[in-house]
Amino acid sequence: MEAARIAAVDADLDRENRALEASTPDELIAWAHERYGERLVASTSFGATSGVMLHLIHRIAPRTPIVCVDTGYLFEETYKFAEDLIKRLDLDVRFYSARMSAARQEALYGKLWEQGEEGVQRYLQINKVEPMQRALRDLGAEAWMAGVRAEQTEHRSGLRRIDRQDGRIKIHPILRWTFRDMESYMEKHGLPHHPLVEQGYRSIGDHHSTIPTTEEMDPRDGRILGKKRECGLHMPLTEEEDQSLKSSGL
């Protein structure tokens, strides 16, 4: 029965993707808002160009809850940038963090992000994946909008604009937008970049694993946390991770 249900969902997603193939980000967000209503949430990292998705939501679905996962290791500038955008766009942002504080984690486990791929994956699970999954459950989310773009990583280049991740519908309104599209939108609407962009930071995450990049480099080369250049939020859970979250009651 479960396999049949998943097959039916996938067939429906295929139809929706075909029907909305030529839709603009505005139209896709409007469709998601109309279809899912209060069961729709969005996410943001308050990164370099996060103002684009946040402004789109502000214009089209302004009361959509927006989740920001706070690892406790964000740049000081990120926290200030977030507050400025929240006030400017009157956003409904919900901050979620790990159940264990950053200080306690370091005391018990050391700096996990310095402990190879296994340590990195544990760090991401504790500080990003679990808080996001908890937020989605708390908010009763059936559908989740994210501002990922195909040109950012290999994984993201294989996504569809309307997809499925861990039993929820995942919507990517700006998936096909290029960096130039992002810059054009920001200029048109007078949106600010993250303040660290001026210092060469073009992809911004935790302060312990983000470095500036030059113009000839891929912006994601500035993210040095793990081999995949992915934070874990936009990757499907493995069977082991799914079982771990369920068995722990998290």
Other C-beta atoms lying within 10 Å of the C-beta of residue 215 = 7
Annotated active-site residue in 29, 54, 141, 231: 231
> Is the pTM value of this prediction over 0.75?
yes
For residue 63, give its domain range. 2-248
| 30, 56 contact by CB (below 8 A) | no
SS3 159: coil
Residues of the chain with pLDDT under 50: 230, 239-250
68 is catalytic: no
What was the pLDDT predicted at 224? 81
Q: Check the CA dihedral 78-172-93-56 and report its sign.
A: positive
Number of domains comprising the chain: 1
What was the pLDDT predicted at 214? 83
SS3 50: coil
What was the pLDDT predicted at 1? 60
Can you tell me the distance from the alpha carbon of 162 to that of 145, in angstroms, rounded to the nearest whole number? 9
Nearest Cα residue to 196 out of 65, 38, 76: 76
User: pLDDT digits over 218-245, tens only?
Assistant: 777 877 876 655 455 665 655 444 444 3
Q: Which amino acid is located at 233 in the chain?
A: L
| 193, 46 contact by CB (below 8 A) | no
Phi, psi of 193 (to 5 degrees): -80, 160
Nearest Cα residue to 136 out of 40, 235, 230: 40
What was the pLDDT predicted at 10? 76
What was the pLDDT predicted at 247? 35
- Looking at residue 187, which CATH number applies to its domain? 3.40.50.620
What was the pLDDT predicted at 227? 60
